């Protein structure tokens, strides 16, 4: 583990108002010029956007120990293989996430996906290959007994692992600001060799291109399944452009609503085709497009399935010969309950061994070192006294209330959801548990909170500040912050072929104010950031 040589409380370096104003102008102009952008908020987005805003960004990169950054990159290969193997273990997923034995009993969203997958595999799966574009998220943790800073995993994402292309551009923006201004010489850590390169766009596109190649029809398209009125469209478009320019692969984008009428399966071959109206797309001479790969940037939250037709469309795609990214079992493998189950004694060792040198650069012990304590809310013998036990104590004796508050301050409760804004933290836990029916508790896990370094700050910029002037209408705020590091990877795998994967496919940093428990950029909690490597 790294030593605590770097003084996090001295970050960020002090800048004058004039320096902040100049850097903000350079940063936001760069972002708008280089596609580090969002569509502006509105009730509906026009088919052809006519305006953009820059994505929420930080003015300076965030300090991360070099050894821990490199360690996170090394771990990604093992995590890719671990979750690929979990996704191929039907019995394990049935037990943990199924609607008969597992989480699906208590969580209707998970249960519906599992039942659809069960019906599909009972009928016979025609495409054995899975594609995963993954992201493993970490925080720095200061809770070690010896005072060292370590790397702890927040979660592992198996569906719609977003912000790869925009994170690459955020890193490039910080390198540009350093090259242009040297950040006014305010700190010796801010030098070019401490700004790591990030090539996420090419690496993620490589994974999609490998799936397309494995499908074996060069003229086929990759389908991006997207949410309606998507504001984070440019993060997706950069992958589309990379696929066309570097791999000569064309992309078509559709929502579940559109796919309900456009998608059909050949009865014999299960080839997935999309009906296309040529008048709407003059460059396409085809009346239908064959799909090689389905890349889901939607489908990870219940609101993406407002009707049974939306679920039926998802299952139509799943039954097809196209390669899915992810398949339903791979999506289920990313559930928080799986994360908790793997942390139990002897479980992760069923998938990754310490001596598994042929497949991985790290073993089960190395993965366990990145985990906080986790347990199920319905576990009768948890490793830490559960929060609902503390609530019961509150009714029995006065000191129980103090115990409950202290315990809740060390916990986060997580449901089986992605996208930010779903967790329950600290003092919100006791009243939440009082209203959570016992039969619903299996859908939640408890996790010991990670304790990031205190006193770290940053300058955060969001578009549309209310006061024009020094910052040109952009609101730049100095705030105490927490930064989350995400490492991307991909894997193409099946039982027949084994796992082909790329361990390090770039990285992401998201930074939020300490007052915010949640961390999603798209959900409005965080800004896009990058890394400055430090010692210790």
The contacts of residue 308 (CB under 8 Å, 6+ apart) are none
Catalytic site residue from 419, 498, 524, 536: 419
Select which of 319, 343, 510, 520 is catalytic.
Answer: 510
Tell me whether residue 524 is annotated as binding: no
User: Has 236 been labeled as part of a binding site?
Assistant: yes
**Cα separations (Å) of 108 from 301, 339, 417?**
11, 19, 12
Yes or no: say if 215 and 293 are a contact pair by the CB < 8 Å rule: yes
The shares of helix, strand and coil residues in the chain, as percent rounded to the nearest 5, are 40, 20, 40
Q: Which of 321, 336, 441, 502 is catalytic?
A: 336
Q: Is 95 annotated as a binding residue?
A: no
Active-site residue, selected from the candidate residues 62, 77, 157, 320: 157
Is residue 448 a known part of a binding site?
A: yes
Q: Is 295 annotated as a binding residue?
A: no
Strands 62-65 and 531-534 turn out to be parallel
Copy the structure tokens of residue 254.
Answer: 């559709």
418 is catalytic: yes
270 is in an annotated binding site: no
231 annotated ligand binder: yes
Cβ pair 402, 368 in contact under 8 A? no
Local structure of 422: helix, strand or coil: coil
The verdict on whether residue 132 carries a ligand-binding annotation is no
Catalytic choice (71, 135, 169, 314): 135
421 is an annotated ligand-binding site residue: yes
The span from the first CA to the last CA of the chain, in angstroms, equals 9
- Does the active-site annotation cover 182? no
Instruction: Tell me, rounded to whole angstroms, the distance of Cα 240 from its chain centroid.
Output: 19
Asked if 478 is an active-site residue, the reply is: no
Residues 366, 9, 506: CA angle, nearest 5 degrees: 45
| Active-site residue (options: 58, 77, 136, 162) | 162
Residue 318 marked as a ligand binder: no
Catalytic position from the list 155, 240, 318, 442: 155
Q: Which of 418, 486, 501, 502 is catalytic?
A: 418
The DSSP bridge pattern shows strands 457-462 and 57-58 to be antiparallel
Tell me if 135 is assigned to a ligand binding site: yes
420 is an annotated ligand-binding site residue: yes
489 marked among binding-site residues: no
- Tell me, yes or no, if 510 is annotated catalytic: yes
DSSP secondary structure string for all residues of 261-290? HHEEE-TTT--EEEE--GGG-TT---SEEE
Q: Which position among 105, 273, 321, 414 bears the catalytic label? A: 414
Q: 25: annotated binding-site residue?
A: no
The answer to whether 521 is a known ligand-binding residue is yes
135 is catalytic: yes
Residue numbering of the annotated binding site for substrate: 135, 159-162, 230-232, 236, 297-300, 510, 521-522
Residues at the annotated binding site for ATP?
155, 336, 414-423, 425, 447-450, 484, 512, 518
Binding residues: 135, 155, 157, 159-162, 230-232, 236, 297-300, 336, 414-423, 425, 447-450, 484, 510, 512, 518, 521-522
Q: Which residues are annotated as a binding site for Mg(2+)?
A: 155, 157, 418
Kindly list the catalytic residues.
Answer: 135, 155, 157, 162, 336, 414, 418-419, 510
């Amino acid at each position: 583990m790294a030593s605590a040589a770097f003084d996090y409380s001295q970050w960020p370096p002090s800048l004058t108002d004039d320096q902040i104003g100049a850097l903000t102008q350079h940063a936001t102009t760069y972002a708008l010029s280089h596609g580090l952008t969002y569509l502006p908020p509105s009730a509906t987005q026009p088919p052809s956007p006519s305006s953009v805003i820059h994505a929420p960004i930080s003015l300076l990169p965030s300090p991360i120990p070099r050894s821990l950054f490199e360690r996170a990159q090394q771990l990604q290969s093992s995590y890719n293989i671990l979750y690929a193997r979990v996704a191929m273990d039907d019995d394990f997923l049935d037990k943990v996430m199924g609607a008969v034995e597992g989480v699906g009993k208590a969580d209707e969203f998970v249960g519906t996906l599992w039942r659809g997958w069960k019906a599909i595999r009972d009928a016979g799966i025609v495409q054995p290959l899975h594609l995963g574009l993954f992201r493993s998220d970490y925080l720095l943790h200061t809770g070690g007994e010896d005072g060292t800073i370590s790397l702890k995993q927040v979660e592992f994402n198996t569906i719609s692992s977003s912000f790869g292309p925009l994170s690459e551009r955020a890193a490039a923006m910080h390198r540009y600001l350093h090259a242009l201004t040297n950040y006014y010489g305010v700190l010796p850590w801010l030098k070019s060799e401490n700004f790591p390169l990030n090539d996420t766009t090419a690496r993620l596109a490589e994974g999609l291109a490998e799936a397309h190649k494995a499908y074996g029809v060069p003229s086929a398209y990759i389908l991006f399944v997207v949410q309606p009125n998507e504001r984070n469209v440019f993060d997706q478009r950069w992958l589309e452009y990379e696929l066309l320019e570097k791999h000569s692969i064309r992309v078509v984008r559709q929502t579940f609503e559109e796919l309900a009428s456009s998608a059909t399966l050949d009865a014999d071959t299960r080839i997935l085709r999309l009906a296309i109206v040529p008048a709407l797309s003059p460059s396409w001479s085809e009346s239908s497009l064959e799909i090689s790969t389905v890349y889901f940037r939607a489908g990870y939250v219940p609101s993406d399935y407002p009707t049974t037709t939306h679920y039926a469309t998802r299952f139509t795609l799943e039954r097809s010969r196209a390669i899915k990214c992810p398949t339903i079992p791979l999506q289920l493998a990313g559930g928080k309950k799986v994360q908790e189950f793997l942390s139990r004694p002897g479980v992760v060792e069923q998938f990754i061994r310490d001596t598994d040198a042929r497949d991985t650069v790290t073993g089960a012990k190395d993965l366990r070192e990145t985990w906080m304590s986790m347990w199920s809310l319905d576990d009768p013998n948890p490793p830490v006294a559960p929060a609902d036990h503390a609530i019961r104590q509150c009714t029995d004796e006065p000191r129980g209330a103090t115990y409950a508050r202290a315990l809740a301050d060390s916990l986060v409760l997580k449901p089986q959801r992605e996208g930010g804004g779903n967790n329950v933290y600290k003092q919100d836990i006791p009243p939440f548990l009082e209203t959570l029916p016992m039969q619903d508790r299996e859908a939640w896990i408890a996790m010991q909170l990670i304790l990031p370094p205190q006193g770290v700050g940053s300058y955060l910029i969001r578009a549309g500040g209310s006061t024009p002037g020094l910052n040109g209408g952009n609101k730049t705020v100095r705030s105490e912050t927490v930064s989350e590091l995400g490492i991307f990877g991909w894997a193409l795998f099946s039982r027949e072929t084994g796992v082909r994967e790329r361990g390090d496919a770039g990285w992401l940093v998201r930074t939020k104010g300490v007052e915010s428990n949640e961390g999603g950029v798209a959900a409005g909690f965080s800004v896009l950031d990058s890394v400055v490597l430090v010692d210790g």
